[in-house]
């Protein structure tokens, strides 16, 4: 029974200002592009012929069937604001806003990483701040899956995120706030299998590394709080519940956040599915069954589908690069980017530019960020390859844009990313161009302000590849043609 004392402490624990305080205290701790005279056949080899229509999402969903066979557990992956998603409301995405949110996430990741390296209390590093609002009006450029929670299982659409660990969903009674979501809000009292984690359970302490915040306690129930780069946050009870991916893939006692105060840019989704590598992530909690292996394919447009599968069996194209562990940032997946080519020509970027900054792969960052020197070289070469097309104004953080409204097909220079271990990732054309509209089609890569901030390999560049994470084996594979 709720005593006045309890409701006071609950309200206190669920207040965002307390969470911010906790966050504050926890934070203490000669490129030369050889201008080539290309013959037509050579040119065709080194460029993609792109039908502009193929980059635009269709009005109806055209699902892919690949990935759902021969795998232990495969879930459909859809883009949050396309016709394949039940969260889609038919409105055109605001690309300026998506890219601003993306920059906010990147600022937050970079400041987290530099804080743990240098211990400089740098919370105001973000140049861009986004008002955290009711999620109905905003769209983040992210991907969602649907899972079943509870007994009987209730379907929930969750954003999947390799850049965070804790899985959470909004829960009744939404003591403080729940954003609008498409699925009915999960009600633990209607499930036969929900239990609270107590404050004195060692599991409660695991929240500190999974969320970056010390857990709270409310009448002996463990309370989590997590804030994301764009100032979205979720606070609530830490619970255990039955999680159902498919009829053969059921997890009793899955640890998750039962959110009582959830505000921010989650769209119509019910919450977040954490695929980082820390202890509380789904990858770690399902390690016995899947051996810390998973793979996904992100579709080329929001009107097609991809998959997220668990267990080994991702094709990976046979080529793997090392997954690097950074003990100060144990959640993130670091990889060794070593070179980039444009139109078949390797850019002459000193290897130290990539190795100094380091690179992580993230499903929740939209646009790849490169060290300033590397991006400058890429941009110069790409502009040369696109010189016959009329330019267009910058789209937020994307500074290399073209007006292609008068063309039905264009020649776009191929771009490859090279990773240690002999992996060449020849980007799909959907991974090269970001289409604001046909009159504003941009190179989908951005530069960091210097060469010291971490590089991030974002989800646009990952499109259409089967990306296989063998976390236990310490390797990551890229297989082309993953979704189709």
Ligand X SMILES: *[C@@H]1O[C@H](CO)[C@@H](O)[C@H](O)[C@H]1NC(C)=O
Q: Which residues bind ligand X (CB under 6 A)?
A: 94, 96-97, 100, 188, 194, 196, 218-219, 221, 237
The shares of helix, strand and coil residues in the chain, as percent rounded to the nearest 5, are 25, 30, 45
Q: 150: closest CA among 203, 195, 181?
A: 195
d(Cα 269, Cα 248) in Å, to the nearest integer?
25
Nearest to ligand X of 47, 107 (CB atom): 107
User: Judging by beta carbons within 10 Å of its beta carbon (0-12, 13-18, 19+), is residue 241 exposed, middle or buried?
Assistant: buried
Q: How far is the CB of 196 from ligand X (least distance, A)?
A: 4
First to last CA, the chain: 54
**Token pair 């899972």 in the structure block, residue:** 147
Q: How far is the CB of 450 from ligand X (least distance, A)?
A: 25
Helix (H) or strand (E) holding 355, with range, is helix 351-357
Nearest to ligand X of 56, 217 (CB atom): 217
Q: 463: closest CA among 430, 438, 421?
A: 430
State both tokens at 150.
Answer: 């509870």
Query: What are the start-end ranges of the E strands in 298-361?
Result: 306-310, 320-322, 333-335, 337-342, 345-346, 359-361
d(Cα 311, Cα 447) in Å, to the nearest integer?
35
State both tokens at 168.
Answer: 């959470």
State the catalytic residue, choosing from 161, 183, 278, 466: 161
Nearest to ligand X of 221, 309 (CB atom): 221
User: Judging by beta carbons within 10 Å of its beta carbon (0-12, 13-18, 19+), is residue 396 exposed, middle or buried?
Assistant: buried
State the catalytic residue, choosing from 165, 183, 362, 451: 362
Q: Are 234 and 261 contacting, i.e. CB atoms less than 8 angstroms apart? A: yes
Nearest to ligand X of 186, 332 (CB atom): 186
Q: 383: closest CA among 97, 12, 35?
A: 35
Distances (CA, A) of 127 to 62, 122, 190: 39, 12, 44
Q: How far is the CB of 260 from ligand X (least distance, A)?
A: 9
- What lies within 8 Å, CB to CB, of 298 at 6+ separation is 77, 79, 143, 306, 363, 459, 462, 463, 464, 465, 483
Q: Report the residue count for the chain.
A: 484
Nearest to ligand X of 258, 347 (CB atom): 258
d(Cα 256, Cα 177) in Å, to the nearest integer?
18
Q: Are 367 and 66 contacting, i.e. CB atoms less than 8 angstroms apart? A: no
426 is catalytic: no
Nearest to ligand X of 211, 396 (CB atom): 396
Q: Are 234 and 19 contacting, i.e. CB atoms less than 8 angstroms apart? A: no
230 is catalytic: no
Phi/psi of residue 61, nearest 5 degrees:
-80, 135
Residues designated catalytic = 161, 362
């Amino acid at each position: 029974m709720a005593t006045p004392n309890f409701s006071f402490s609950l309200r206190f624990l669920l207040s965002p200002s307390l969470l911010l305080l906790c966050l504050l205290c926890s934070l203490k701790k000669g490129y030369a592009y050889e201008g080539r005279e290309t013959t037509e056949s050579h040119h065709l080899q080194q460029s993609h012929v792109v039908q502009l229509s193929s980059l635009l999402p269709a009005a109806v969903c055209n699902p892919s069937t690949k990935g759902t066979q021969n795998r232990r557990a495969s879930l459909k992956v859809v883009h949050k604001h396309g016709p394949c998603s039940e969260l889609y409301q038919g409105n055109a995405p605001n690309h300026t806003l998506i890219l601003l949110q993306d920059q906010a996430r990147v600022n937050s990741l970079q400041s987290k990483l530099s804080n743990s390296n240098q211990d400089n209390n740098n919370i105001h590093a973000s140049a861009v701040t986004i008002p955290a609002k009711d999620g109905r009006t905003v769209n983040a450029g992210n991907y969602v899956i649907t899972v079943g929670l509870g007994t009987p299982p209730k379907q929930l659409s969750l954003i999947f995120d390799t850049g965070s660990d804790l899985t959470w969903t909004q829960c009744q009674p939404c003591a403080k706030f729940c954003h609008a979501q498409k699925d009915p809000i999960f009600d633990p009292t209607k499930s036969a299998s929900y239990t609270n984690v107590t404050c004195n359970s060692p599991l409660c302490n695991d929240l500190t590394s999974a969320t970056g915040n010390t857990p709270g306690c409310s009448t002996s129930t463990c309370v989590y709080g997590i804030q994301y780069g764009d100032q979205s946050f979720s606070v609530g009870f830490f619970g255990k519940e039955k999680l159902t991916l498919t009829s053969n893939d059921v997890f009793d006692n899955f640890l998750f956040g039962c959110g009582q105060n959830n505000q921010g840019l989650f769209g119509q989704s019910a919450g977040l599915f954490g695929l980082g590598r820390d202890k509380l992530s789904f990858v770690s909690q399902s390690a016995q069954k899947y051996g810390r292996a998973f793979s996904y394919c992100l579709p080329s447009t929001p009107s097609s589908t991809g998959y997220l599968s668990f267990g080994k069996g991702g094709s990976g194209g046979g080529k793997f690069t090392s997954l690097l562990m950074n003990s100060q940032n144990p959640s993130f997946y670091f990889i060794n980017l070593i070179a980039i080519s444009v139109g078949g020509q390797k850019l002459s970027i000193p290897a130290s530019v990539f190795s100094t900054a380091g690179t992580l792969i993230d499903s929740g960052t939209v646009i790849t960020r490169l060290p300033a020197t590397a991006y400058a070289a890429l941009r110069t070469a790409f502009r040369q390859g696109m010189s016959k097309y009329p330019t267009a104004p910058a789209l937020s953080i994307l500074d290399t844009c073209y007006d292609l409204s008068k063309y039905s097909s264009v020649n776009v220079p191929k771009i490859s990313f090279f990773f240690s271990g002999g992996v060449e990732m020849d980007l799909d054309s959907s991974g090269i161009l970001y289409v604001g509209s046909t009159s504003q089609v941009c190179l989908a890569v951005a530069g960091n302000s210097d060469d010291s901030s971490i590089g991030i390999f974002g989800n646009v560049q990952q499109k259409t590849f089967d990306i296989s994470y063998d976390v236990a084996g310490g390797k990551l594979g890229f297989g082309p043609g993953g979704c189709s």
